[in-house]
Amino acid sequence: MSGGLRLKQSSYFSVRGVSCRFDEGTLTLHGHVTTFYDKQIAQTLVRNMHGVRKVENRLSVAPW
């Protein structure tokens, strides 16, 4: 399962719009979430994926 698919199928609705890009072992998260908790959830969902050595969490937090 890809990182984007894992986020889109998450039971956490707030992370379903997060996008990601994978490049040479680094998975970078992009987009907006409403809380710092959601930012951490998104990172946790993808950090143990096969081939991911590093997660760069570039999500911004802004209440809607």
The domain that holds 40 is classified in CATH as 3.30.1340
Question: 60: part of which helix (H) or strand (E)?
Answer: strand 60-61
pTM for this model (two decimals): 0.87
Domain residues for 11? Answer: 3-61
Q: Does residue 1 have a pLDDT over 70? A: no
pLDDT at 35: 94
Q: And the tokens for 10?
A: 């998450």
pLDDT at 63: 81
Alpha helices in 1-64 (DSSP H): 3-8, 36-47
Strand, coil or helix: what is 53? coil
Looking at the structure of the chain, the number of domains it has is 1
Tell me how far apart the alpha carbons of residues 60 and 24 are, in angstroms, rounded to a whole number: 23
pLDDT (tens digit per residue) in 2-58? 778 889 889 988 899 999 999 999 999 999 999 999 999 999 999 988 999 999 999
